[in-house]
Structure formats: structure tokens, C-alpha cells
Structure 1
């Protein structure tokens, strides 16, 4: 019955997200599968964290989309998530739900689950709010000033937004999860794990992620094979296979690993 309810809830939420253009068709299908695993096999507490990430990140993308439109040419995809983005941000969280089924009394799958979503939320908040900041962005690897929207650029407001996004997931994890003791420490742990994942995302984007250049307008971009202006993009630097989806996956992996390692100290 729980699995059926979880599947039904996942379908309804995915359809709503597709209708509001937060998910593409492939993204809605992937979200249905992920939601069924999290809602149906994990239950309400696990669903709350996934919804906390999805609702807040989608709301920011939607509310700030017009203000960020001028910078969208730099990013590989828009705010409408496809299947690869859904899996990149939430695939590992689904894995931790399955691990929870193997060890239902253990708390470490919950910590790993919360850490992955904290990293995904932190990275999304940093991107959506950081690129709109009037503060001067600096490349994370060299700290040299760069233009807004540059891959791997960070700002103080964006970093604070990342921390806030991670702390939100940490707060939800304490409110609905099995680790009410040492609650402030758990919130801080998950929040910092999310921040770490977001910073690793920026570090990879600045150093190893595949980046391209548009010969028509001369702008560096994540988009390939076509820029937003329609011109074919040319490879510039990085590892050709390491696109934004892989970077996001590594971001969530870092957040989950940090939460697990920190949990060894707390538990």
C-alpha cells in the first residue's frame, strides 16, 4: 500500500512539475521513478527532504528565471530539468533509500541521503541567487575577478545562499528524521556537507568540467553542440566527458560522503 501511495504521489507531483515547466517530459518520467523509490520505499520522512529540495529549488528557478535570463547562455541547460538533471541531483538519494531497506535500524543511510540533497539544494541556491548578486564574482581556483555566470565563480552572497540551502535540508532532517538528539550538531553537519558539495561543484566547473566557446559571440559556455544563439560551439578546455550533469552528481556524492564521515564523529 505504501508503495502504491508513493507511486501515486510521485506521478501527481511529476505531472504538476511538468505542467508548470519545471520538468521536461523525460525529467517527469525520471522524477516519477525516483519519487516512487523515495516516497514508496522510504516513507514520509524521506519524502519530506526530497520535496524540500525540489520545491525550493524549483521555486527559485521559476521566480528568478526572468532576472537570470541574460546569463542563461552560459549554462548548459535552463531551469526545466530533464532526466539527466533529475538523476544527477537525486539519483544518489534514491540509492541511500535502497540501502536503508537493507539496514533499516541504521542511521547512516539517512545521513547520506540528507547530505546528498543538502548538496543539491546548496548548489541550486548558490547558482540561482549567487549569479544575481551585485558582488564581484571570483574564480574559486585563482580568486581572480570574472564575469557573472562564469563557471566556477563564487561570491559571498552565493556562498551564504549555499549554506542556507544546506541548512534547510539539515533542519528538515532533524524535524522528521531519526536523529533528534544532538539536533543542532546534525543540522550544522548536514548544512556544512551541503556547502562542501556546492564548493566542490564550483571547483570542478572551474578546472575539469568540459567548457566550450561560441565562435559567433566569443562567449565561454557549457552548452554543446549548439550555443543559445544557434551557433555550433567549439571545445575549449576540461575533460570532454565531464559535463554539468556529472559535476552535479559529484557534488551530491561529496555532500553525502561528508555527512557520513561527520556522522562517525557525532554518533
Structure 2
């Protein structure tokens, strides 16, 4: 049984790594971080944690590619923005007739000036850890608690309240990061302009802290997806729970997805600066980093303070959601 479990989980990890390598969705260090994360998730006798990691990774990479060309028009990297500014300052540069929303077309090339320099970059090891380290820590705590308290993972121990709370914390982390990923990747495609969560005023697409009806709906679905997925692989839910209890559990996890997405928006609106270039296009730092203070001065800040990077916001949001979920549960 142990050999079968080890082989199955190794194949799952290898499949994730191969997919990341072929699609270039992760950097080399990102792939290494994913392998280490997969190993930690595989240490636990329950398969649910590894499959939650798999479910999050697969859905996230799929939605990242949805209407990728359209999303490329909404943000630009700092290097590309600096190049554009240098070109604009050149005496040979002519007015290309760009609109302030960055969707104008170059007369020479017939496409947005910054489109070649923008896009979803391969995710780094920092991004991988920011979206999984809370779950990894809780998995280790769950292992230590069960072995030191009961010496095993027998069926009789599955109803332990501490065991269930830690389990809920792990699922909550994935509900939050998955909902945030879905709402970010799909919400930005809304036909309506988002509003800034702290002021409820319209803001540019891609602004940190911007929310839309579509984004909120997708966040709930992202949590629902994780809730259903965790039900399938969790050993105690179908064994002891009634249909009503399962329904309440999935509803709870769905609400955690929405909570995590809103928490991310609040943190982003307050502690992540949103800056635009001369064309009014949002500057997005590759790899989830943040602009240095000197870089920020080169552009126009439209909201937030330059305190946290996107990775730090994601990590804080995941931790807060997990703690809240364990307390409420």
C-alpha cells in the first residue's frame, strides 16, 4: 500500500513538473519550489492535500491563458514602460495617436506599442511559495499533531476537532489563493470598469484593489471548486457527514474564497502602489515583485502605498484566511 501511494504521488508531482516545463509556466527555480512543495504535500497519508495543490495549479495555469492577448493590453512591465518613455523623448519619435487607456495602435506596426514587452511571465519560486507555504506549514503541523497525539491516522481520530481545524486551514488557504487567481485572471476581462474597494470609485483595470461583479462571482466559484475537490479526496467527510453537512461545508469553503479575494483587494488597495505610465497603462512588476522607491517616482501613482509586493499580499491574505477559517470553524 505504501509503495503504491508513493508511486502514485510521485507520478502526480512529475506530471505537474512536466506540464510546467512544457508550458514554461514556472521558472527553473519555480519548478524546484513546486517539487519541494509537492514532496511536503505528499508526506501526509491523506492524498487530499497533494490533489488540492494539483487542482490549484492546473486551474490557475488554464485561466492565465484565457484571452491572454487581451490581458496583455492592460498592463506593462517597468522596463517596457521606461523604453517607451525614452522613445517618446527622442527627437525622432512622432505622435502615434495612443489613447490614455493604452489600447491605441501604432501606425507602423498596427499593434499596441507595449504589447511585445508585456504578458504573463513564468511564475517564480517566490510566487509558488507565496501561494502554498501556509498550507505546507499546516500540513507539517497536522502530521506532528496526529503522530504525537495518537501515533497514527486511524479512522477513530478523524473527528478530532483540532485535526479538523487544521484541515480546514489548509483547504481555506487553497480556496483563498485559487479564488484570488480566478478573480484576477477572469475579472480583469469584465466589460465593466472595476471599482476600488477602499473608495468604491471607478478605477483602471489592473489596479490593485479593484473589484468587479464578475471578479466577485468568479471568486465564489473558485472557492466552490476547491470545496468540492476537497470533498472528493477527504477521508472523513463522506464517511461521517450527512448531505446537509457536506452542503454547509462546501458553502463555507466557497465563502472563504470570496473572503480571501476581498482580503487581497483590501491589502492591495492600501499597501500596494498602483502606478501608470504616460499612456495611462498600469505598471505590473514581473514575478509579483514591487517597484523600488526610485522606480516609482518615474511614474504616476494612482492608489496605494508602496509597502508590499504582490507576493507579500498573497502570502498575508492566505495566512489571514486560514486563521479566520480555523477560528470560525
Provide the TM-score with structure 2 as the length reference: 0.71
Alignment equivalent of 1:94, drawn from 108, 112, 136: 136
Greater radius of gyration (CA)? 2
More displaced stretch, 10-19 vs 87-96: 10-19
Question: What whole-Å deviation, never above 9, does each CA across 1:192-232 have from its counterpart, x for those lacking one?
Answer: 11211111111111111244454x5454434289x9xxxx8
**Contact 1:212–1:233 under 8 Å retained in 2:** no
Per-residue displacement from partner, 1:64-114 (whole Å, max 9, x unpaired)?
322211123279982521101101111111111111102334112210110
Aligned to 2:56: 53
> In structure 1, the residue corresponding to 2:25 is in which secondary structure?
coil
Residue 135 (structure 1) shift: 1.8
Q: Give the gaps of 5 or more residues in structure 2.
A: 79-117, 147-156, 158-162
What is the number of residues matched between the two proteins? 257
Could you tell me which of 279, 285, 297 is aligned with 1:223? 285
Distance 1:145 1:247 in 2: 22
Mapped contact 1:122–1:198 kept (Cα < 8 A)? yes
Question: Does residue 68 of the first structure (1) align with residue 131 of the second (2)?
Answer: no
Q: Which runs of 5+ in 1 are unaligned?
A: none
The answer to whether structure 1 residue 247 and structure 2 residue 313 are counterparts is: yes
Please give the per-residue CA displacement for 1:26-63, whole angstroms capped at 9, x wherever unaligned.
11110000011112335422112111111111111123
TM-score of the two chains, using structure 1 as the length reference? 0.86
TM-aligned CA distance change 1:136 to 1:191, over 3 Å: same
Counterpart position of 2:85: none
Name the structure 2 match of 1:204. Answer: 267
What residue in structure 2 maps to residue 38 of structure 1?
Answer: 41
Alignment correspondent of 1:257? 323
Alpha carbon RMSD of aligned pairs, Å? 2.6
Change (3 A) 1:136 1:220: closer
* 1:179 paired residue number: 237
